[in-house]
A and B are shown apart, each in its own frame.
Chain A
Amino acid sequence: MRILLIEDDNSLGDGIVTALRREGYAVDWVRAGAEALASIAAARPDMVILDLGLPDMDGVALLSRLRQLEFRNTAALPVLILTARHSIEDKIKGLDAGADDYLTKPFAQAELFARLRALERRGGLATSAEIRIGEVTLNLAGHTASCGDRDVVLSRREFALLRVLMERPGTLFTRAQLEQKLYSYGDEISSNSIDVHIHNLRKKLLPDFIKTVRGVGYLIESPH
């Protein structure tokens, strides 16, 4: 898995490269937009981590160019923006320009790794298209699930819901957010049916695998 890191701060870039290599990624590190374009032209990376404040061009402009370029299929290249810009407007601008995710500095390494793993899966890059948390395993390619050594049959909506929660363990989703996620999978769903699906998932998997936060929503806790 090759990652292109575009970051102009020497110390931060160096630290991220060390961390990513420790996690087993191959990392190319460039400090400017022009270099980044040259690097992508030479060899297409699997994922890109992009800082927005580059010395020669704005990160959002670079992202727009990547999304328009025809060669090396950069339009589908997973891009994670990593920036010191915290405002909601900046976040929307970045995501609208075609970023797959947006993480603000400073960040915890665990969060960066979790988001990179989610990008891998979404881009179909993961070596095994599987998410495993505790005893529960979700096979994204085969649309199957298992709990321990027992296969579990899930409806399409239950599978989609479980996938949303398992892709971001430790993240709490409100009912409204879950509805929205499922809606983007092409399903219309009422908030009641979210509760029904969660109820069914608990029955089919483990009773306390999905946690309820009363009045807020649901989450699956991180394994560590």
Chain B
Amino acid sequence: MISIRRFLLASLLSCIVAVIALVMTVGYFSSRHEAGEMYDAELSQYARLLVQLLSSSNHTNEIVVSRRRKEHGVHSPGNSYEDKIAFQVWNQDGLVLARSAQLPPQRFAGLVEGFHNVEWMGHTWRLFTLRDPDNGHWAVTGERDDVRGELATFLAWQSIAPILLASPLAALLIWRTVGIGLRPLRGLAMALRRRQATDLSPLPTAGIPKELRVFILSANAMLRRLAESFAREQRFAADAAHELRTPLAALMVHLENACAAAQGESREALDKTLASARRIQHVIEQLLALAKSTPEQYLANFARLDLVALVQDCSAEWAPLALARGHHFSVEGAEQAWLNGDRTGLSLLLRNLLHNAIHYTPAGGSIVVDIRNREQGAELRVIDTGPGIPAALRTRVFDRFYRVGGDRHDSEVEGAGLGLSIVKYIADLHRARLTLSEPGGHPGLEVLVSFPLGAPSAAA
């Protein structure tokens, strides 16, 4: 992943190094130039001095100046650079009057006045040649070129070294400063991460740098539109619920009134109409439950709950119907089974499983709800003695609007083929595994919902 902080550190550091290198190069050449001028001045003054001195004295012996390294076992004062400078003076006959020891006794350079560069003994020498117009003496003063380079390099290094030594410190400072500069971005990321899935309130704009402002303002505009569309959907579901339930209630009241008044054949027809109305009611409730439920809503309402208590509450609602149809009904297994889940969703799951079991099991059957605490999590079983579902169709029944047997399905059972798809949907949200099988020992259907131990939370 690209890190702005690392990118800024690397690019700022390289910029600094590049600028230092440039400064160093420029500094080196200008130091070298300045040093050259100064050395040239020295050479010429030194040549003039030699010419003057030698013309006023009457030396006939050749003067040879050498660097005396030791005299009577004692270091004489001096400097190793002395080997790198030299001079020669000769008269108009070409006789050498005075010279540095490292120069040969012959004439060192051509008789042209001024500055020259000369290769000698593997080094470039800078020479100055001067002729005294009064007595015709020539003087040459010279200096090895690398002396000049050394000084320029030294001067350039002197100014660069502290900066280079300080660069780790600069890196540290850049790292810290960039970190501080990016703090609002990190704060924003944390604020986003901490939010509930259903929290669509705008992000705070106070104390936000102007670079982030545009981002936050457009994110807020998007959140607002999202919240509005969710609210619209919720309103639609609520309105639809109201608009469907009231006329349906009216239809059923009138049908029951008609049933109460009717006799014989018409009574029979009305009873069937009433059954169909109940089927419509059931389907509408299922569709509304689906319309109202988004994964975000379910996950946001996840809480610790006792599955056994929930099963008991749902059973209290459905067991009377089971008893009325002559079924044996019982809840067995654990006394408590705690898990992380959404109460409304799990109630809907249970309601659908119980509804199916009670309605598809022929009168006088048996329905058992069994809850166990396993090592890998809670297990919920709903076992009936109904016709079961053939193995080949056990995956298809989770499809929406699919019913075993299709249109030839026993129409006395209310349903639209939504029940098990809703069960699957809710089980998936709880990361629970859903298995259909035949119960051991008798025909029928066993629905197993295995919940995971570490159930998902809103942050997932």
Contacts and interface: CB of A to CB of B under 8 A. Distances in A.
Contacts of B246: 9, 12, 84, 105
Contact of A214 (B249, B281, B331): B331
Interface stretch (B51-59, B171-179, B312-320, B448-456): B312-320
Interface residues of A, number: 35
B253 A172 contact: no
Given A22-B260, A109-B256, A219 B320 contact: yes
B242 A11 contact: no
Contact of A171 (B241, B313, B320): B320
Given A9-B250, A213-B315, A106 B245 contact: yes
Interface string A165-187: 00000111110110000000000
Contacts of A173: 316
B135 interface: no
A25 interface: no
B259 to A, nearest CB: 9
Interface in A153-170: 170
Contacts of A42: none
A15 B313 contact: no
A217 B312 contact: yes
B250 A11 contact: yes
Majority secondary structure of chain A interface residues (helix, strand, loop or mixed): mixed
Contacts of B260: 19, 22
Interface string B308-341: 0100110111011001100001111100000000
Interface string A99-123: 0000011111100000000000000
A214 B317 CA distance: 14
Contacts of A88: 344
B117 to A, nearest CB: 99
Nearest to A11: B250
A186 to B, nearest CB: 24
A72 to B, nearest CB: 29
10 contacts: A15-B254, A15-B257, A84-B249, A106-B249, A106-B281, A172-B316, A172-B317, A174-B316, A217-B312, A221-B324
Given A12-B250, A84-B245, A108-B252, 14 more contacts: A18-B257, A19-B260, A84-B241, A85-B242, A105-B249, A106-B245, A106-B251, A106-B277, A172-B319, A174-B312, A176-B309, A213-B330, A214-B330, A216-B312
